[in-house]
Amino acid sequence: MIVVATADFELYHGVVTELRDRGVTFTTIEPDEPLPDRTEAVVVGPEEAVDPPADIAVVEAAPAEPRRAVEDLLAIMRGDAGRVIVGIDPGEKPGIAVLAGDVVIGAFQVPADQVGAVVRREIEGATDPLVRIGDGARLVGSRVVDDLEDVPVEVVDETGTTPYLGTGARGMGDVLAAVNIARIEGERVDSIDIEPTAGELQRITDRSREAGDDNRAIDEQLARRVASGELDIEEALAEHRERTE
């Protein structure tokens, strides 16, 4: 069982919220109270001292980083958490999944220009992290690889990584694909060829026609800007309307 033993209100609130969001069983005590039976790990604030038996782990947490503390706690509870691997589905709004071993410990969907910063934040302090990115949107992928030039990156064949989405799961496809990508071995790369294929540009054009309500398709120039991550489909359609109306 996890025990939260801190007098720091900010830390208490942050850690408790993270634990509840993850459905983790825990209890709370004052720092000077004895630890309950069955305690396996305890979280305290900076300069808060506890003196548990040797078989109970202590995690000292910073009030500004409660999620990091909870991830450390869960890693302790799982035993050997395994290598931290980040999977990225590099679509128009990339999905990101962070795995420790086979357990998903974080999931995000952010604009392409924020992917590098999110990944760096998530792997900070990890031993030998690895990033795996799908090969379906190479211009977006190329930007991500460039942003992570000092991080090991593998390019993965993302065919079949997007699962069927049932009722209520709309919008989750990119993140779930990122989970699958993280679990597939790829080819180690230092860069990605940025030239999109004719097929990739055609798929973007087709998606633009499907996304609009006036059967409008963007041109190749705008499709290339979408492929690079400079624009999303809606922004490209808006620019196309300005040019032609």
Q: Are residues 164 and 205 in the same domain?
A: no
Helices (H), the chain: 9-21, 66-78, 115-123, 138-147, 173-182, 198-211, 220-228, 233-244
pLDDT of 57 strictly over 60 = yes
CATH number at residue 141: 3.30.420.140
How much is the average pLDDT of 44-65? 83
Same domain, 36 and 113: no
**Domain match, 40 and 114 both:** no
The domain total for the chain is: 3
Same domain, 129 and 97: yes
Give the integer Cα–Cα distance in Å for 43 and 236: 48
The per-residue pLDDT for range 141-176, each reduced to its tens digit, is: 888 889 888 899 999 988 788 777 777 666 788 899
pLDDT of res. 79 = 59
Regarding whether 175 and 101 lie in a shared domain, the answer is yes
Of the three residues 78, 113, 133, the one that is the final residue of a domain is 78
Note whether 108 and 73 are same-domain residues.
Answer: no
Domain hosting 91: range is 84-189
Domain harbouring 30, CATH code: 3.40.50.2300
Same-domain check for residues 227 and 146: no
CA distances from 244 to 31, 85, 215, 219, 225 (A): 67, 45, 14, 11, 18
* Residue 118 clears pLDDT 80, i.e. is over it: yes
Give the per-residue pLDDT at 224. 84
Of the given ranges (115-119, 125-129, 154-158, 203-207), which has the lowest mean pLDDT? 125-129
100 plus 183 within the same structural domain: yes
Are 111 and 74 found together in one domain?
A: no
* 75-86 tens-digit pLDDT: 776 655 567 899
Going by pLDDT thresholds of 50, 70 and 90, the confidence category of residue 212 is confident
CA distance 42 to 60: 9
